[in-house]
Amino acid sequence: MNPIEELTPKGVWKNFYALTQIPRPSGHTEQVAKFLVDFAQKNGAEAYIDEAGNVVMKKGATPGYEDRETTVLQAHMDMVPQKTKDCNHNFETDPLDVYIDGEWVTARDTTLGADDGMGVAAAMSIIEDDSVEHGPLEVLITRDEETGMDGAFGLKAGELTGKYLLNLDSEEEGEITIGCAGGVDIICQMEYQEINVDANNMLCYNISIKNLLGGHSGLEINKGRANANKLMARILFAVVNTQMAWLVNWHGGNMRNAIPRESDATVLVPQAQEKEFLALIEKCRDTFCEEYKDIETKTLQLTVTPIESIPSKAVPEDIQENLINAILAAHDGVLRNTPSMPELVETSCNLAIINIADGKAEVITLARSSQDSMKQYLCNQYIACFSMAGMSVKLEGGYSGWQPNPKSPLVELMSSIYEKMYGKRPIVGACHAGLECGIIGVNYPDMDMASYGPTLVSPHTPNEACLIPTVERFYNFTLEILKNIPKKQ
């Protein structure tokens, strides 16, 4: 038995560990969906996969609780597949290497998947434990939340009957979230004709930025962390615009909702410019380390490595300048905080993914805002900026934010229960991350919803960790909420 399965509460940790052994990156959830359906059916619950690929479980009320309103427990089955640069983990086939580090559970060199494996594990534990007191229960485990909330968008009206929904996908124990930002993917693309390269008197180098903290592009966008793509844009702007280098290809980031930790570019350097080129890279390294010395607690790594084989093709001069200029000019990070709540980010974007190679260029950014007008303003900035670079710009997967209801009966019930259990009122507020409640609420406008969870740090990065003591508090809180759900009117 793995030591994690011995942690308290055992049911939650046992189920969480089981989830870590099943590959479940976004876009590859078939295996975990089948596992969840089999698990529920083995424990006497009705379970099936709906048309959108979500897992739905239904369990009857505990004797004596048949007259209670139906409650929905909601989480998502997929996880963000992030790993360190040198890790050879395959998220589609390999189990996670999870371990206990003091008061934390984390994974070796990869994301942990506690976002939202902890929510799923808690729901599983309630399904299998017949001693839990609850009214009629529905469990909704959505697919591909991290890459576009596809499961939530595909959920049909009438699939659920619950009056209350407990979203188990927040990352700070002691807080109840009642609203979140909306988001949209901004996808900029173009094709170009590569030019032939005269290899005579040319050298080839790979420029690599890695070992940044990265982080969740909603929850941690306001922490001032470096974006590897933006750092690379600064380097390329300096070396390309001064004819020290010629761009061959550029790849940075791999998840729209993760702040890029790594970025790599291949460039051609005239032999006569080599010394000046290397000196400029060294200057950039010193500059970046100085700028981020109080934020990037790991050692920021900027390396330049010679490549023996000289590429035969490269990006045309006008195209490379337009692309680098647009990427450097495009906004990244916080655009505005909420005027009425200055501590809460209102509008931001994450310049997440860059792929320039083989005659194709793509830049993907996730824009977020709790104000649709500000979200559109940010989109228009990108449309204007990248259109001038000759790229087509399209918007995909847009959704509005979840508007808070401070008079929610569910939230008042939860706050009262939390105070009785732990001697203080929970913090109630909104967050800048995307939650599925707003999307689900389109088809279920009368459903009363709230989000909460155990404490996680650095989700969407290989530093992701879950604080062990908060899991028991989170789970016991959930059991007490279910026990006190009101009777049907």
| d(C-alpha 120, C-alpha 292), whole Å | 36
- What would the mean pLDDT of 288-299 be, rounded to a whole number? 90
3-class DSSP assignment, residue 396: strand
Q: Name the residues annotated as catalytic.
A: 78, 145
Output the CA angle 207-216-366, nearest 5 degrees: 80
What does R_g of the chain's alpha carbons equal in angstroms? 24
Per-residue pLDDT for 298 more than 80? no
Per-residue pLDDT band for 199 (boundaries 50, 70, 90) equals: confident
Q: Where are the beta strands (DSSP E) in 20-115?
A: 46-49, 55-59, 71-76, 98-101, 104-107
Q: What is the tens place of the pLDDT at every residue in 97-132?
A: 999 999 999 999 999 999 999 999 999 999 999 999
What per-residue confidence (pLDDT) applies to 456?
A: 97
Per-residue pLDDT band for 85 (boundaries 50, 70, 90) equals: confident
Across 184-188, 378-382, 396-400, least confident range? 396-400
| d(C-alpha 415, C-alpha 262), whole Å | 41
Mean pLDDT of the chain: 96
Q: What is the tens place of the pLDDT at every residue in 312-344?
A: 899 999 999 999 999 999 999 999 999 988 989
Query: Considering the entire predicted model, what is its pTM?
Result: 0.89
Per-residue pLDDT for 400 more than 90? no
Per-residue pLDDT for 385 more than 90? yes
The domains of the chain, with CATH numbers, are: 3-181+401-483 (3.40.630.10), 184-399 (3.30.70.360)
What per-residue confidence (pLDDT) applies to 145?
A: 95
- What would the mean pLDDT of 405-409 be, rounded to a whole number? 92
- What would the mean pLDDT of 440-463 be, rounded to a whole number? 95
Give the Å distances, CA to CA, from 115 to 2, 20, 111, 360, 463. 20, 11, 9, 33, 12
What per-residue confidence (pLDDT) applies to 139?
A: 98
Whether the CB-CB separation of 319 and 249 falls below 8 Å is answered with no
Collect all residues with Cβ–Cβ distance below 8 Å to 132 and sequence separation of at least 6.
62, 126, 479, 482
Percent of the chain with pLDDT strictly greater than 70:
100
What per-residue confidence (pLDDT) applies to 310?
A: 93
What per-residue confidence (pLDDT) applies to 297?
A: 75
